[in-house]
Amino acid sequence: MASTPESDGGPEEPTADRDAMSGDKAESETTEEPKTFDWMQDTPEWGTKAVPGKKGLTLDGIAINSYGEIPERSEEMTRMPRGAFHVAGVPRLEFYPLSKKVDIWADNAAGLYEEAIQRRWMAHLDVPWDTIEPLSRELELAMCQLCTELAQQASVETDSIGQWIGRMNYAYYEVKTFLAAELYDTARHYDVFRTRALANGGTLGLESPGLINRRIIESRAGWTETAVVMYLLRGSFTLMLYRYGEAYALNPAEKMIFRRAIQDKARHLGYGMAHVKFAVSENGKDYATGLLRMMSGVELDLASEMNDPVLWEALAIIFGGGLENISSGMDVVREFQRRYVSEYMARMQWVGIDKTAENLAPGLLAYINQESNQESGAPA
């Protein structure tokens, strides 16, 4: 009779019940507590709704409670939006050299940004290019030279802001947002003035002497120091060129170009002057004195650059209506020069920098003292 073999002491074969029991045990050992979604953190502003105004839901409109608080200094270096929650362990993306309010702030930045996007325009469509008619050779060359100068000024401003905007902390996003809009403006100015130079069978002219361009591009002392040169000194000059350009426009297209550019440039100066005034008020008299001394050297470069006759001769031809009336046009140029230096000094005084005839570079003082020989019909 055959017998059932006895166990040899080896491992037992697993059974279904034993497998199920072991599986239940493993599952119970690895199961975690349900997640609590702790990233859903409330803030004191939760439930406070921003109300759109007449201009829509603006940057000022969403500056509610703590979201509208501007820190004197920010240690956040990860480019997170102001008011977001910091996550421990996130490495910084940048060390922002400009992380203090005094370095870049202006109270009007948010409002100027809203104005910029509301008044945006398109050079290729909004300008009535078909109204440009043939001009005399000298008059066309003069306008081409002016437009070449203005395109270069716009490119310098674009590059300078581009160098600085990435160094600014996002705690002051109102300023960064406005400057981004200004970059769009200056790119458009470069485009429209270069286009005008080539739109009527003309040519691009000579580049500028470049002394002030270099001062702006190579400025490293700080954003405020750059702003004094770029806005108060150069910006005042550019804005006046736009104003006279509109007053002496040769056709509807040019009048439209200069009128729109005036709106843009006035906005740029609005921020620049407000920022410098704020920085001077916060940093005190010694800081203002330092800016005054810095500008003494810049003014020497400006006086040297203003000795170059190319732009003035081009303007005289435009203001006179042709080469045959360049003498009367030069009277307008002299009035332009006097008004420019006077407005530069007035803007310096407004921001708290004590610029007077006594400390103005002699080469610039000469323009203040010169008088026009006749009524110029200069723009107000």
Average pLDDT (15-38) is 54
Residue 109 lies inside a defined structural domain of this protein: no
Residue 163 lies inside a defined structural domain of this protein: yes
If one counts every other C-beta atom within 10 angstroms of the C-beta of residue 159, the result is: 14
Residue 38 lies inside a defined structural domain of this protein: no
**pTM for this one?**
0.87
The pLDDT score that the predictor gives to residue 378 is 63
Residue 28 lies inside a defined structural domain of this protein: no
Please list the alpha-helical segments (H only) found in the chain: 16-30, 101-104, 109-118, 123-126, 137-165, 173-198, 211-217, 223-227, 236-247, 252-283, 285-306, 309-320, 326-351, 362-369
pLDDT classification of 338: cutoffs 50, 70, 90:
very high
pLDDT classification of 372: cutoffs 50, 70, 90:
very low
The pLDDT score that the predictor gives to residue 33 is 61
Chain segment 30-56, per-residue pLDDT in tens: 556 656 677 776 666 788 888 899 989
Residue 350 lies inside a defined structural domain of this protein: yes
If one counts every other C-beta atom within 10 angstroms of the C-beta of residue 151, the result is: 22
- On the question of pLDDT at 152 being above 70, the answer is yes
In three-state secondary structure terms, 200 is coil
Range of the domain at 208: 122-369
- On the question of pLDDT at 28 being above 50, the answer is no
Residue 205 lies inside a defined structural domain of this protein: yes
Average pLDDT along the chain: 89
Query: In the chain, how many domains are there?
Result: 1
CATH code: domain of residue 153: 1.10.620.20
In three-state secondary structure terms, 100 is strand
Q: Which residues of 70-108 are buried (b: 16+ CB within 10 A; e: fewer)?
A: eeeebebbeeeebbeeeeeeeeeeeebebbbbbbbbbeb
Chain segment 268-300, per-residue pLDDT in tens: 999 999 999 999 999 999 999 999 999 999 999
Contacts of residue 251, Cβ cutoff 8 Å, sequence gap at least 6: 131, 132, 133
Residue 81 lies inside a defined structural domain of this protein: no
Residue 131 lies inside a defined structural domain of this protein: yes
